[in-house]
Chain A
Amino acid sequence: MSHGTLPVYWRLFVAGFQQQTAYPLAMFGGLVANLTFGFLKVAMLFATVRAAGASVQGYTVGTMSAYIWLSQGMLGSINLNGRIDLADRIKTGDVAVDFLRPVNVQLATVATEAGKAVFALIPRAVPSVAIGSLAVGMTMPRTPAPYLLGAVSLLAGIVISFSTVYLVAVVGFWLIETRGIQIFYMVVSGFFAGLFVPISLFPSWLLAIAQATPFPSMMMYPVDVLTARTTGAAAYGLVGVQFAWLGATLLVGHLLTVVGRRKLEVQGG
Chain B
Amino acid sequence: MGTPVHFTEIGVAPGRFAGYRAVLASRMRSQRSYRSNFITDLSSSAVVGLIELAEVWLLFHQVTVLGGLTFRQVLLVFGVADLCFSIADLFVGHCDNLPTYIRAGTLDVFYLRPQPLLLQLMTSDISLRRLTRAGIGLASLVIGLSINEIHWSTSTVLLLALTLVCATAIFAAMFVWAAGVQFFLIQGAEFTNAFVYGGRYAATQTAAVWSTPLKVLFGFVFPMALTAYLPALRLLGLPGPAGLPNWLAWCTPLAVLWIWAFALGMWRLGVRHYQGGGG
Contact = CB atoms under 8 A, between A and B. Distances in A.
Nearest to A45: B59
Interface stretch (A5-13, A126-134, A196-204, A216-224): A196-204
A232 interface: no
Task: State the main secondary structure of chain A at its contact with B.
Answer: helix
B44 interface: yes
How big is chain A's contact interface, by range?
35 or more
B198 A26 contact: no
B66 A26 contact: no
Nearest to B184: A25
B201 interface: yes
Contact of B44 (A52, A184, A197): A184
B270 to A, nearest CB: 15
Contact of B187 (A25, A56, A183): A25
Contacts of B65: 51
Interface string A179-196: 110011001100100001
Shortest Cβ-Cβ A-B pairs, 9 listed: A29-B191, A29-B188, A180-B40, A33-B194, A47-B209, A29-B190, A36-B194, A51-B63, A26-B187
B189 interface: yes
Given A188-B47, A202-B58, A32 B209 contact: no
How big is chain B's contact interface, by range?
35 or more
A28 B201 contact: no
Given A197-B59, A203-B61, A36 B195 contact: yes
A132 to B, nearest CB: 13
A191 B194 contact: no
A201 B191 contact: no
A37 B218 CA distance: 12
A47 B58 CA distance: 13
B202 A40 contact: yes
A201 to B, nearest CB: 6
B37 interface: yes
A30 B55 CA distance: 22
A197 B188 contact: no
A201 B59 contact: yes
B211 interface: yes
Interface of A: 23, 25-26, 28-30, 32-33, 35-37, 39-40, 42-48, 51-52, 56-57, 177, 179-180, 183-184, 187-188, 191, 196-197, 201-203
Interface string B180-202: 00000111111111110010011
B105 interface: no
A184 B218 CA distance: 29
A55 to B, nearest CB: 10
B19 interface: no
Contact of B189 (A29, A42, A179, A184): A29
13 contacts: A29-B189, A33-B194, A33-B198, A40-B198, A43-B214, A45-B59, A51-B63, A51-B65, A183-B40, A191-B54, A201-B58, A201-B59, A202-B58
